[in-house]
Structure 1
Amino acid sequence: MNTEQPVVSIRDLYMAYGTKTVLQNIDLDVYPGQIIGYIGPNGAGKSTTVKIMLGLVTGYLGEIQLFGQDIAKGDLQYRNRIGYVPEVVDIYDNLTASEYLTFIGELYGMSWEHANRKASRLMEQFGLAADVFHKPIASYSKGMKQKVMLISSLLHNPDLLFLDEPLSGLDANSVMVVKEILAQLAAQGKTIFYSSHIMDVVEKISHRIVLLNGGRIVADGTFDELKERNHEGTLEEIFNELTGFHEHKSIAEDFVSIVQDV
């Protein structure tokens, strides 16, 4: 049993939109230094859970504590210890990276000078030339925009990081760099929620995998523990087994047959 205080503690979380239940009976404790592979089919409740923890969604039942603080009590200081990369990049691309990142830094209480200096150095580490730092983000490729989002999530040195498809658009070398960054952050005690549909990456980087289906946690453990319980070889196979999706081969066969219908 882990004797540390959990960074995230969720008890009996329930959320519904009208008559549609999105989350039910969610109990979860997450500890410092853990990379959590937080996965599930579309609509399973992953994004809703994260948005509740970020304070972006209210109206839930149950209790959520972050850093030992009940987030329902109204003290929003805990947000300064969180970083977030959403799946869909929503960025002010009329700004330059310098303008955008210093704006984000100041929102987290950093001085303009510190945020600008730190952002410039992080851009350089990501292989982005100094002149790019002062060009409009609208001129960036998808991969470059993703790097800016990653930098914005880490600029203020958060203790808790939520990443939704963080490798989207990155080249192979950048993927290796980001995976190593996450490993080193976890080794320093940072806690990371990692959501992705790329199961082989989740399998390799996660210390623990939490699988949601239909608003419930249907699996929680290391990859080896999940594999032992479900007698499946890969995380993708375990995912399909636990979510009841077995039609991928027949759908692919039908699809290909239609493609070949000339």
Structure 2
Amino acid sequence: MLEINNLIKNYGKKEAVKKISLSVKPGEIYGFLGHNGAGKTTTIKVCTGLLKPSSGSVRICGYDIVSEPLEAKKNFGYVPENPYLFDKLTGRELLDMVSGIYMKDKRYSAVKRIDELLKELQMTDEADKLIGAYSHGMRRKITICAALIHNPSVIFLDEPTTGLDASSAKAAKDLFRKHADEGSAILFTTHVLEIAERLCDRIGIIYQGELIAEGTFEELKERSEYPGTTLEDIFLNLTNKNRAEG
């Protein structure tokens, strides 16, 4: 579903992403973990066509994001870390607009889908209020609804639970798992390592633009110098080791 091959992204002389290669299969949630500035968001922005790669390639459902951007973009949904929304629209009007882009020939299905997502993310009572009056958590939830409205094959989630209360975060995580179980491939970033440990099928750890470890939680635990540790322990062990070697 998602294939990243030898991806490099430079900002002038700074190499922000260094030959990253990874793939996310249908039905899989892939946790993409790293410190602030490690290259996670840059990688996702290249994958979604917001940035051009310096070299390497990204393919979404077989379509190259650079040479076939329209076909690639039809197949993914994206929740950015800092979403920019239309404050003068209501939440429902925003979802109507997005569904009109992705589901213009399926208006009845789109209306039904909007209602389902609003209910699942506990936003039904807020749907007809202006987005400009939304809290941070409500803006996050309406962004998740917009990203998932067309049941995309590939989903990019950049810190999607930031700002959500416990109940809303649980609803969002359940929704992500549901989409994966129905065949979506999900690339997921979070600083809350307990979420990654419980939710993700495989995990990649990025440090200063390089993918330094990859595998299931159990595989990473087996490779760790400290058996029986949590994902947090493994993450800190690996990144500190690379810092010391660097």
- 3-state SS of paired residue (1:76): helix
Out of 229, 240, 245, the residue aligned to residue 244 of structure 1 is: 240
**Residue number in structure 1 paired with 2:130:** 136
Residue-by-residue CA offset, 1:228-259 (whole Å, 9 max, x unaligned): 1113411111111111189xxxxxxxxxxxxx
CA RMSD between the two structures: 2.0
Q: CA deviation at 1:192?
A: 0.7
Q: CA deviation at 1:21?
A: 0.6
Distance in structure 2 (CA, Å) of the matches to 1:15 and 1:167: 27
**Residue number in structure 2 paired with 1:208:** 202
Q: CA deviation at 1:185?
A: 1.4
**Residue number in structure 1 paired with 2:113:** 118
Distance in structure 2 (CA, Å) of the matches to 1:114 and 1:170: 28
Q: CA deviation at 1:141?
A: 2.0
Q: CA deviation at 1:202?
A: 0.6
Amino acid at match of 1:26: I
**Residue number in structure 1 paired with 2:167:** 173
| TM superposition score normalised by structure 1 | 0.85
Distance in structure 2 (CA, Å) of the matches to 1:204 and 1:77: 33
Structure 1 stretch displaced more, 19-28 or 106-115: 106-115
Matched, 1:64 2:58: yes
Distance in structure 1 (CA, Å) of the matches to 2:35 and 2:128: 39
Matched, 1:48 2:34: no
Out of 24, 27, 36, the residue aligned to residue 30 of structure 1 is: 24
Amino acid at match of 2:121: F
- Does the 8 A contact of 2:31 with 2:188 survive in 1? yes
Residue-by-residue CA offset, 1:70-117 (whole Å, 9 max, x unaligned): 333235212111111111131112211121111111222435654344
Distance in structure 1 (CA, Å) of the matches to 2:192 and 2:161: 10
Matched, 1:99 2:124: no
Structure 1 stretch displaced more, 117-126 or 91-100: 117-126
Matched, 1:153 2:127: no
Distance in structure 1 (CA, Å) of the matches to 2:96 and 2:108: 8
Q: Aligned pair in 2 of structure 1 residues 240, 127: CA closer, same or farther (>3 Å)?
A: same
Residue-by-residue CA offset, 1:127-146 (whole Å, 9 max, x unaligned): 3344x322101222222221
- Does the 8 A contact of 1:101 with 1:115 survive in 2? no
Q: Aligned pair in 2 of structure 1 residues 238, 140: CA closer, same or farther (>3 Å)?
A: same
**Residue number in structure 1 paired with 2:231:** 235
| TM superposition score normalised by structure 2 | 0.90
